[in-house]
Amino acid sequence: MAAGYDGLMQQPPQILKQYFDINLTALILRDRKCSDKGEICRLDFVPVWASQDPAAVDLTVEKTKSKDIIKVKFRYPSNNEKIELKYRVTRTPKGWRISDIAGKDWSLLAILSAPE
């Protein structure tokens, strides 16, 4: 994780469950337990920003043909790189929750589900 960053991914389980489905929450917590030992585990970046240094400008959110996919686009102010992420959401008894975040060549679910 980015040094000094205390954002969404570091929140207590009850907060994570407000944003992520049960499966992704469990995987995030498993990875956090590993990283609490001082190791870099599966997750070495902030997935909601696709970066180790959270920053974004020109943020847009777009619907897609699929009701469970939301496109989020933004630009890094430091180098003007344009980023597009796809958030897969799942309807749960408590509302819609994120079940995956995917970038150009990665998926949060796949990264966190990889065998140890």
**Mean predicted confidence (pLDDT) in 83-98:** 96
Helix H or strand E segment including 72: strand 69-75
Tell me the C-alpha distance between 17 and 94, whole Å. Answer: 9
Assigned fold of 8-113? Nuclear Transport Factor 2; Chain: A, (3.10.450)
- 50 close to 83: Cβ distance less than 8 angstroms: yes
* pLDDT tens per residue across span 27-53: 999 998 887 777 778 888 889 888 877
- 114 close to 106: Cβ distance less than 8 angstroms: no
Mean pLDDT value across the chain: 89
Helix (H, G, I), strand (E, B) or coil at 86: strand
Tell me the C-alpha distance between 59 and 79, whole Å. Answer: 15
